[in-house]
Structure 1
Amino acid sequence: MKRVKLAIGRLQALAVAILIGALTPPGFSQEIATPEARPSLAEESEFSVQGRYLAAAGNCISCHTAGDGERFAGNVPFQTPFGTIYSSNITPDPDTGIGRWTKEQFVRAMREGIRADGAHLYPAFPYPAFTILSDEDLDALWAYLRSLPAVRHTVRANELRFPFNQRSLMAVWNRLFFTPGRWHSDPNESQEWNRGAYLVRGLGHCGACHTPRNSFGAEKAELALTGGLYSDWVRPGEMRLWSAPNLTGAKDGLASWQTSDLEGYLKSGHSSRAGIFGPMNEVVGNSTQHLSTADIHAMAVYLKALAPAGQTATSPSAVQASAGQLVYMLRCATCHLPDGLGNVATGPPLVGNPIVQTRDPATLINIILYGARPAPFLQPSWKSMDGLASELDDTEIANLSNYLRGSWGNVGSPVTPADVARQR
């Protein structure tokens, strides 16, 4: 999301907050209820096992465990256009976690984005996706979280600019952009499709990264899963923008992928089309590799059934593309081959590659600058790629990116040296 657009979006957000928020009562406050009686050991064990699986499906550990912190104790930073939000401690510690919450309060947080004290949660916590979860799944998640060791750990206060630090204004946001509701199966689709849709749209909250957002930070429903922008690490201590690819059947998405390619990618991090790197290392490492074969297949079936959709892009001109050909031949062709079709032992194909064609080139530029290192659990895996930040200047990287995005039938908007400089 460009800086100008963000600036305009902030002004729009402020205007709406003032105009509508003034008419809306602030979030209420209430006493935190006494925790309910604990279930029997047998009942807790049964639900805890199911809940552990569901927590993996939701990748809860990645968002609620800091790199050097205790599991689920929070303090993971999320950089947004409005400031930095730190994830909550969701262990059952009574003072710094959710140990005093009741199940009803937990369910309300998951489905409505309301904390136990009545204050609004920010949608960095993806309650707009979790709202569809079933009663049974929420019971199991609750049992699992209550079974965790309590960790006394106070997370950092959010660093949001005014007026975005006013939680009561989230009532306005919810009225505009949030529709609560349970999951209802589509009788016209298969059981596999419905299970996959439930996981992708709900616990998996794939849209949080793969759907573009408007100026208010809400997902654009009409462009669901067509690719988005978010901040994440490029190396320790440094965050940059990343562009999540189009997951629909569009040419710049998964058109060239088979269901089996998606299954391999989600289960092992490797397929004939791509290997994971960057933020997806956490997604597969902490989440999808732990899912059952049936659930992985269901997700792949759902994703492959998505109709082609996307965001209009203008490919680089022939002149722009040709400027990077020499750099490609010298730096990339050994592993990805001169025709871009890749080699199973050295590098994935670049032809039809969603990462190469993302509307915003952030991830492609990150790979070129910082390299791509697959997660260590991958078997087999592509060779690691070293970054070229110290060897190529911004113009050379822009030229190389344009060659990749304008060759072999690929589509992707032209890349400028300024785009590269943004990712340095």
Structure 2
Amino acid sequence: MKARSITLGLAILVAGGSAAFAGLAWRPAIGKIASPTQFDRALVAKGAQLAAVGDCAICHAGSTGTPFAGGNPLQTPFGAVYASNITPDPDAGIGTWSLAAFRRAMHDGVDRAGGFLYPAFPYNHYTHVTGEDVDAIYAFLMTRTPAKLQAPATHLPFPFNIRLLMAGWNALFVDHSPVAADPAKNAAWNRGAYLVEGLGHCAACHSPRNALGAEDKAHPFTGGEVDGWDAPGLTAATSPAAIAWTAGALYRFLRHGLDDQHAASAGPMGAVSHDLSNVPEADVRAIAIYIASMTDPDGRGAAEPTREQQVAARVAAAQIPPPELQQTSGAAIFAGACAGCHGAGAPMMLNGRPSLALGSSVTAATPRNASQTILYGLQPGPGERGPWMPGFAGSLTDDQVAAVLTYLRWRFTDRPAWPALEDNVHRIRQDKSS
């Protein structure tokens, strides 16, 4: 009898606590609007540039390529989260959303109807974006072409499908304070900090995450993973770059998708570089200055390599490999499939393209990015410009790709061999086909 009373009491406490939490977490719906209002052209233009910094088009592009129509899945450890339609269509998109509803979504992660959003939408960074900038993005999105494409609904397994729990997640992990200006830094650095920490949400990819999917605030920018790619660390201790990044090199990489002392942007970063090509030069330079300061915490400033140093690095990276390496199957595959572009004396190399020895995918701690690039190549989106490379998933087996990776690691770096390469390649191929 006593045990039954205790059980009943606990049940009442749990029920009462759940009801209290639900009451505190509840958010009201915000009324619909009939249609978007007219917007000043200058505000729309500003919003276009800010949306490019925020990479809105990357996640929210429709499965058919329709801009901002949603439907793309972002793979998370908890399941696939589908990007929503953010065109002004009144049924499939956000055409009935008021500015207040849009601001709440950006700053609080709550949609117009009062439902909690998952942080695959990086509102935990957009909390740092000023109201004026949010208003400009709203003006831009509300003047896009409406798309009547209904994005797939997100269905995560229990208990992650209980969106109300996001109220607790937000309380633990979301910071609403603005990005504080550092008076010891110049205006460009502070502008870069605002863009990187806020709209650019760079840490969302380039930081590790804890068991609940929140960024590890104790180790920001030390490397993460997104959509099957490694997002490399950006700090001095974690960057895999063979040559330290400078603000100038980062600017070229971010703006043009290529720097001749590093590599071409690949994977999700390729789309980021494309978007940043439409952002004012001053903002891209500010982003580069802020990120470069992570690899130079003392503020001494790494010098740009001289032309002589660049040539020396390229020549050293293209040395003829030792005989024992030349006899491997990886060397033979490289000679037949890769050397026409990446071998010493190849036309592409003579035109200033970076040596493979300078690319982070070859020097990285894991072979994930190099495997992705060999299997699926680099292909800019329709109508986009950028580095191009064919994929070899259809012509090379897993063990052949692994042999090439072994050869690249041995020839072009002084790093230890990657383990279990064939298993890694097989896993990436399986993930792509699933």
TM-score (structure 1 length as normaliser) = 0.78
In 1, Cα distance between the equivalents of 2:364 and 2:41? 44
Question: 1:110, CA displacement in angstroms?
Answer: 0.7
Match 1:92 to one of 84, 88, 95: 88
Give SS of 1:156's match: coil
Aligned partners of 2:234 and 2:295 also within 8 Å: no
Shift of 1:376: 7.9
Structure 2 equivalent of residue 314 of structure 1: none
**Alignment partners' CA distance in 2, 1:55 and 1:22:** 39
Aligned equivalent of 1:318 = none
> Structure 2 vs 1, CA of residues 347 and 333 (structure 1 numbering), >3 Å: closer, same or farther?
farther
Q: What is the match of residue 177 of structure 1?
A: 173
Question: Matched residue of 1:386: which SS?
Answer: coil
**Which SS does the other structure have where 2:222 is aligned?**
coil
AA matched with 1:270: L
* Residue 243 (1) aligns with residue 230 (2): yes
Q: Which residue of 2 aligns with 1:9?
A: none
* Residues 1:289 and 2:285 aligned together: no
- 2:21 corresponds to: 24
| Paired position in structure 1 for 2:206 | 210
Q: Does 1:421 align with 2:426?
A: yes
Q: Secondary structure at the match of 1:222?
A: coil
Name whichever of 59-68 and 347-356 sits farther off.
347-356
Shift of 1:153: 3.5
Identify if the C-alpha distance between structure 1 residues 386 and 138 changes in structure 2 by more than 3 Å, giving closer, same or farther.
Answer: closer
Q: 8 Å contact 1:97–1:151 — kept in the other structure?
A: yes
> Aligned partners of 2:351, 2:200: CA distance in 1, in Å?
30
- The answer for the alignment partner of 1:371 in structure 2 is 377
Match of 1:343 in 2: 349
Give the length in aligned residue pairs.
Answer: 382
Compared CA separation, residues 367 and 108, structure 1 to 2 (3 A): same
Deviation at 1:38, TM superposition (A): 6.8
Cα shift at 1:261: 2.0
Do residues 300 (structure 1) and 288 (structure 2) align? Answer: yes
Instruction: For residue 210 of structure 1, report the CA deviation from its aligned partner.
Output: 1.9
- TM-score, reference length from structure 2: 0.77
Report the CA distance shift for 1:373/1:91 in structure 2 as closer, same or farther (over 3 A). Answer: closer
* Residue 166 to residue 301, structure 1, CA distance change in 2 (3 Å): same
Q: 1:29 Cα deviation (Å)?
A: 4.6
Contact 2:362 2:413 (C-alpha < 8 Å) held by counterparts: no
- How far apart are the structure 1 equivalents of 2:188 and 2:373? 34
Question: 1:208 aligns to what SS in structure 2?
Answer: helix
Distance 1:387 1:70, change over 3 A: closer
- The correspondence of residues 116-131 of structure 1 with structure 2, limited to 5 A, is 116-131=112-127
Q: % of aligned pairs identical? A: 37
Whether the 8 Å contact between 1:254 and 1:304 is mirrored in structure 2 is no
Q: Which segment is superposed worse, 95-104 or 108-117?
A: 95-104
- CA, structure 1 residues 38+159, in 2 after alignment: closer, same or farther (shift >3 Å)? closer
Structure 1: stretches of 5+ with no match in the other structure? 1-17, 232-240, 310-320
Counterpart for residue 49 of structure 1: 45
Alpha-carbon separation, structure 1, partners of 2:146 and 2:67: 10
Distance 1:348 1:21 in 2: 58
Aligned partners of 2:333 and 2:400 also within 8 Å: no
Structure 1 residues 407 and 308, CA gap change in structure 2 (3 angstroms)? farther
Q: Which runs of 4+ in 1 moved over 6 A?
A: 20-23, 36-39, 321-325, 375-379
Higher relative contact order structure (alpha carbons within 8 Å, sequence separation ≥ 6): 1
* CA distances 1:203-229 after superposition (whole Å, capped 9, x unpaired): 111222222222222222233222221
In our comparison, the structure showing a higher alpha carbon Rg is 2
1:189–1:403 CA distance, 2 compared to 1 (3 A)? farther
SS in structure 2 opposite 1:223? Answer: coil
Q: Kindly indicate whether the alpha-carbon contact (under 8 Å) linking 2:245 and 2:295 is maintained by their aligned counterparts in 1.
A: no
CA contact (8 A) 1:85 1:158 kept: yes
